Amino acid sequence: MKKIVFLFALLAQCVVAQTPLATVTVESTGVVCSPGQCTTLTANYFEGKSTTSYDLSSIPYAPTFPFTGGTTLNANADDTWSSVVNLPFSFSFFNANYTQILVGSNGLITFGTNTYNPNGYCNWNFSQTIPNATFPVKNAIYGVYQDTDISSPPVVNPQVQNVNFYVLDTGVNASPNRVFVANFNALPTYICGTANGLQTSQIVLHETTNIIEIIIANRTACMGWNSGSGLVGIQNSAGTMAYVPPGRNTGNWSATNEAWRFTPAGASTTQLNWRINGVYMNSAPNPLIICPTENQEISAVVAYTNGTQTSYISDTLDYNLLVQTPDFTEPADITICSTQNPIQVADLSSNTELILNGLTASDFEIRYYENPDDASNLTNNYIQTPSVYELDTNRTLYASIESYATGCVYVKPFQVILIPFVAPPTGSNTQNFIAGQTLADLTVNGTGIVWYSTPIGGTSLPENTPLIDNNTYFAAQSIGGCESRNTLSNRLAVTTLLIVLDTPAFTAQSVQIKPNPIVDTFYIESSVQIEKVQIFSIEGREVFSEVGPFNSTTMDVRNLNSGVYFIALSAKSGKVTQKIIKK
């Protein structure tokens, strides 16, 4: 049995990433399989917050973005700012929104594009800790802020050893989860050059969530210059607020393979709304309980607000909460013709193909239960061998149909009806008849009498089968579709004897049929006018007829198969039946 957990994305999907993304998924307790059935929808999304404050946390060192590529800072000038870099998205920093930044060659970026000189001097000289109103560069992200040298020499491979930056807008980092990445890759420090190793770090800005990450592959202090000062952290434009990891607020520290995340921690800037068939609800409970009576289009829409700018993370998905019931056929009641044994056997699986009604069998699982609750709940108390189900009394059973595609379960009851053992009919084993009489004229006591020409098996005879002198017929009793026909003793044998009337108006002596056996045609001559001629097979089915009147005529029977037949000649004064043979 397959259990299906329904997790359907109503909005932008994402692969699980190290950094929280602005996405939303909706988890359901199950699809709605019938009108009015309830389900619970829970929206899972990242709650954005304002940048009035931050939570600082250490995160595993696991760089997601390349340290090379994009636009390279001018390597002919050291201690320099980039030209103004236009961000393709608005980024909130200490409760202010920015779309432009400067990248500095000394391991930092600033939002103060009007405060510091694009393509101009980037200050390296600092010894203060932050926050500090006199700090040389404020409104900035430091990661790692130190005096590095991007000139050649000491840089020997400027294709790799450089300051570069780029925007990533693809895959999980497509809008509204784009990133701006600034790299300070394999750089020498001023004065020390490569003697203290190469310095590599990265600053990442995340769209919508306004998360900042600083990734440090290697930082080794140059003790011979500026006291080996290095700084990791963020600071506002006034120099009154700052967030710095422990031991990284200026100083001659060293680090390898560490990473820090600055997550906005102010008031929530996120609003969830539910949209049903394109109409927003007045309230936004989460989770949301719905009990639809018709198919509905459900969306969860999350709004992220940056200052005066709001981003709506939404993607409408047509989702039929009310699943259309497959075109099943109702199971048939099963009738068992009981034997004389106390336990009877029914084949419940005979209903499987009927229920599926041509549907693909591999899309469903059908099991049979004695209890309706077990059938609805798909318990393990199902009938293990439905093809040989044993019972000794009438039963109501339940077919449980589980859809692998939707997880819906449909329960359909049916009856297994035991017809008591049917005894043979009663009556005289020898019965007389007069010419022209049929099986319907025999006297047998029972219900639903069925006649046969054989004691076992064979095909039933119609009641209008003409009786033949000194012939034996076999009668079975039929109740509820069950016949007393299993053995010789379950059919009553009746032998018929013809009674010749003293003064027959129309007798066999009145008629001549020749030749007999017949090849293709035969001739009938009668002293009494014949009104109708009928020929019957040995089983009693009429295979030829012709209407008179006539006293003599020729019949063409070449279309008949070889065998024994009975010819019935009807006159106004009586009826004569004789046996004929067709060669």
Report the C-alpha gap between 442 and 540 in whole angstroms: 15
What pLDDT is stored for residue 9 in this prediction? 32
Residue 124 and residue 386: Cα distance in Å, rounded?
84
Beta-ladder partners of 495 = 430, 472
| Tokens (6 digits) for 569 | 């000649």
Residue 320: what pLDDT?
62
- Read off the tokens for 4: 């299906």
The residues, any chain, with a CB within 8 Å of residue 16's CB and separated by 6 or more, are none
Q: Which of 181, 210, 170 is nearest to 22 (CA)?
A: 210
Sheet architecture: strand order including 270-276: 279-280, 270-276, 298-306, 309-313
Instruction: With a cut of 70, list the residues of the chain below it in pLDDT.
Output: 1-17, 307-308, 314-320, 485-489, 500-505
CA separation, residue 157 to residues 37, 70, 150, 191 (Å):
67, 16, 10, 18
Q: What integer pLDDT is reported at residue 487 of this predicted model?
A: 55
**Amino acid, res. 287:** P
Which residue pairs, CB below 8 angstroms and at least 24 apart, start in 440-449? 440/464, 441/467, 442/467, 442/473, 442/475, 442/494, 442/496, 444/475, 444/492, 444/494, 446/475, 446/477, 446/492, 447/477, 447/478, 447/479, 448/477, 448/478, 448/479, 449/425, 449/475, 449/476, 449/477, 449/478
Q: Is the pTM above the cut of 0.85?
A: no
| Exposed/middle/buried for residue 486 (C-beta within 10 Å: 0-12, 13-18, 19+) | middle
What pLDDT is recorded for position 259?
98
Nearest to 475 by CA among 498, 494, 497: 494
Residue with the two structure tokens 């899309």: 363
Residue 3: per-residue pLDDT: 32
In DSSP terms, which residues pair with 309 in a beta bridge?
306
Confidence (pLDDT) at 445? 94
